[in-house]
Structure 1
């Protein structure tokens, strides 16, 4: 697993726009990409995931498919991310084998994270920590869960939920390995600059992000 920004796609039907902004984000340093489109038809999902996989291969970044294990197999993507209403971590691991990434949403529940680790997860994701423009959470995850997880779970930790470079900073300082974000990048006037700001949280030093424009 990498450290840095874990970019998650919005529910956009416009594949060209999706690919263009994702290209800018990968060019600027996004460490990993998750394809997530809850409302896509199977045909659109295949089209978009294939286009994003080609992009990720160009930039040598992993592509994770949200929920759809069979799509991951069809495309030979790098892994899947599963939540509480999807297939289990154990089922995903059994289907994909040992060589793929399997991520698990654990919300604010350490017991879920421990179970995911036992079942073969590659990483665990906690959140939402902050109000999100994309996902509506009926709870708030407390930052202290990172301290507890770091003490008892030997997997990389991803944080999600309303993430911006500013409010992600204290979570990274506590030990979060990756920050998952959607709107703060895809809705930004200059997505590459925001990616650079996220990346700076893990660099240990300030970075000049003012000149991060779109990839060519």
Structure 2
């Protein structure tokens, strides 16, 4: 499992624009990509996912498919991300086998994270922490859940929901392994600069850990 920016795609029907902006973000250092387009037809979804998979292979980055386990299987993508109304982690693991990534949305509930870990998840995602332009949350997840999860859950922790480099900083400081973002990258005037800013959060944490280790 990687560390850094976990990039999610917007609901863009323009595949060329989607691929080009994603290429920029991957080149800048985005660590992992999730293909997510809630309104796409089955044909468009397959075309876009295939194009993004080819791009991810060039950059040697994992492509995760949101929701659609069969599409992941058909394209031989690297894994799936599952929400509360999708197939269960256990079902997806059974279909995809041990070699694929299976991520689970756990919202603001440690109990869901514990269950996901038990059922074979590769990582757990918490959020939303902040208001999002992509998804409307009926609740707000507290930052303290990251600290709790890092002590109780032996899986990488992803944070999501209205993420910018500025508001993600305290969550990375609490130990988040990846920050998931869509709008802050895809709607930016210079997407690569935003990717660099997210990556800088993890570089700063690593530097802080080294300095702290040297003084104790």
Q: Which band: TM-score by shorter chain?
A: over 0.9
Aligned partner of 2:156 in structure 1 is: 156
1:98 aligns with 2:116: no
Structure 2 gaps of 5+ residues are 207-216
Aligned ranges 1:73-92 → 2 under 5 Å: 73-92=73-92
Q: TM-score, normalised by structure 1?
A: 0.94
Aligned partner of 2:24 in structure 1 is: 24
The answer to whether the 8 A contact 2:6-2:30 is kept is yes
Q: Distance in 2 between matches of 1:158 and 1:146?
A: 9
Aligned partner of 2:63 in structure 1 is: 63
Q: Could you list the per-position Cα deviations for residues 71-104 of structure 1 after superposition, in whole angstroms to 9, with x for gaps in the alignment?
A: 0011000000000000000000000000000000
The answer to whether the 8 A contact 2:173-2:205 is kept is no
Q: Which has the higher helix share?
A: 2
Deviation for aligned residue 1:204: 2.1
Q: Distance in 2 between matches of 1:139 and 1:205?
A: 28
Q: Could you list the per-position Cα deviations for residues 38-92 of structure 1 after superposition, in whole angstroms to 9, with x for gaps in the alignment?
A: 0100000000000000000000000000000000011000000000000000000
Aligned ranges 1:106-145 → 2 under 5 Å: 106-145=106-145
Aligned partner of 2:195 in structure 1 is: 195
Aligned partner of 2:41 in structure 1 is: 41
Q: Distance in 1 between matches of 2:148 and 2:46?
A: 38
Structure 1 gaps of 5+ residues are 207-216
Aligned ranges 1:161-180 → 2 under 5 Å: 161-180=161-180
Deviation for aligned residue 1:150: 0.7
